[in-house]
Amino acid sequence: MLFPTAAIRIGCQQRLVRALGNTPMMYIKSLSKETGCTILAKAEFMNPGGSVKDRAALYVVKDAEERGLLKPRGTVVEGTAGNTGIGLAHVCRAKGYDCVIFMPNTQSQEKIDLLRMLGAKVFPVPAVPFDNPQNYNHQAKRYAQELDNAVWTNQFDNVANRRAHLETTGPEIWDQTDGRVDGFTCATGTGGTLAGIARYLKTQNPKVKAYLADPPGSVLHSYIQSGGKLTERTGSSITEGIGQGRVTDNLQPDLELIDDSLFIPDEHTITMLYRLLDEEGIYVGASSALNVAAAVDMAKKLGPNKTIVTILCDGAYRYQSRLFSRQWLASKNLLEAIPPHLQKYIVL
Ligand code: PMP
């Protein structure tokens, strides 16, 4: 065991929260060759909690501490599709807080199990729209209000989330590309990742293009394409953690920075998920595959010799009972979207 003095002497003083961020940028060779562009993807699955949401989790907790809303041994309460909760659970253990998570009961069992293993109390609740008082976010808010020394971190509308990407992910992308980035695209859940990164990159170079990528069941693509008409949510997607029925406070101030949007059907997402595995050895969840499919579409729109960056949000580990199950894929009518030479990866 290293005693503190020895740890200081050899420069090993970092605890979990300092291990967050500074993720590698990956060159996607096969798709770069195919498009004539340089397609890069930031490996956010390499964060300690395994996703891009670790950054927002740390920032909302630090924000609550700084504003005096969270005192020692307090409780952090959040509504989340899972990844923010996993990030929060890690940060809470490292900082000595309790963690309570409300999540829609449509999310994968792997995420619920992991949250509980990390010591969080989890309430899976019916997946109802935001305007229903039983929505997971409203339940999280009420729970925190009724508890002493508890804070609802409110990732959707708390702009500390966006600030995480403005102050960390955006600068990292700029540095890792030597400022030679032409386009950035990613999907949104809270919108924090897209808004923070788009804001930072455009501050450095206003010519950088930012595209929002959207799955089925989300309203943002049609919102952007129609110049601001909000429609009802219809349909659903295999992608977890992304897609939105409203414009959140994290996205709203930076919506003007979004140059265009791309709709990515689930068929394209699942094909890309299996291609990334086969061609690059990259094992990621569906939102990451959607992002890479969007980067390819953006490359086609911007033309050759451009550098396009996107985000690999998390690994496939937390979805494997679905994404690699023949029965589950068939139930979503997605088996045919996986080319015959890639079907060998469907092992469950
Ligand atoms: N991908 C995954 C797997 C996620 O869980 C999330 C967040 N729920 C996102 C992407 C979107 O990130 P953001 O909330 O910053 O828009």
Cα 11 to averaged position of ligand 1 atoms, centre (Å) = 33
Testing ligand 1's pocket by substitution, the residue of 115, 186, 242, 311 carrying the most ligand atoms inside 8 A of its CB is 242
pLDDT in tens, 174-191: 999 999 999 999 999 999
Annotation says 301 is catalytic: no
- Any ligand 1 atom below 6 A from CB of 285: yes
Give φ, ψ of 104 to 5 degrees. -65, 140
Give the DSSP H/E element, type plus range, for residue 84.
helix 83-95
Tokens of 5: 């003095």
Given the residues 42, 53, 202, 209, the one annotated as active site: 53
Give the pLDDT of residue 215.
Answer: 98
Residue nearest to atom 6 of ligand 1 (CA): 241
Compute, in angstroms, the gap from residue 241 CA to the centroid of ligand 1: 5
| Residue 173, phi-psi category: left (phi > 0), alpha (psi -120 to 50), beta (remainder) | alpha
Which ranges in 170-243 belong to alpha helices (H)? 170-176, 192-204, 220-225
Mutate to test the pocket of ligand 1, among 42, 83, 166, 250 (most ligand atoms within 8 A of CB): 83
Query: Which residue has the least CA distance to atom 5 on ligand 1?
Result: 241
Confirm or reject: Cβ of 314 under 6 Å from ligand 1: yes
Q: What is the DSSP letter of 341?
A: G
Residue 14: the pLDDT is 67
How big is the CA angle at 236 (ends 232 and 237), to the nearest 5 degrees?
135
287 lines ligand 1 (CB under 6 A): yes
**Residue 38: strand, helix, or coil:** strand
- Is 84 within 8 Å of 158 (Cβ atoms)? no
CB atoms within 10 A of CB 173: 24
Position 138 scores a pLDDT of 96
In tens, the pLDDT along 217-268 reads 999 999 999 999 999 989 999 999 999 999 999 999 989 999 999 999 999 9
Q: How many CB atoms within 10 Å of residue 67?
A: 10
Ligand 1: atom nearest CA of 189 is: 16
pLDDT one-digit tens code per residue, 270-306: 999 999 999 999 999 999 999 999 999 999 999 999 9
The one-letter amino acid at 85 = G
Assess contact for 337 and 323: CB atoms under 8 A: no
**Closest atom, ligand 1, to C-alpha of 196:** 15
Residues 209 and 182 sit within 8 Å (Cβ to Cβ): yes
E strand segments, 181-245: 183-187, 209-214
| Token output for 323 | 């994404």
pLDDT in tens, 105-157: 988 888 899 999 999 999 999 999 889 999 999 999 999 999 999 999 999 99
pLDDT of residue 82: 84
Q: Is any atom of ligand 1 closer than 6 Å to the C-beta of 60?
A: no
- Tell me the pLDDT tens digit for each residue of 33-72: 999 999 999 999 999 999 999 999 999 999 999 999 999 9
Task: Note the ipTM here.
Answer: 0.99
Does ligand 1 have an atom closer than 6 angstroms to the CB of 103?
A: no
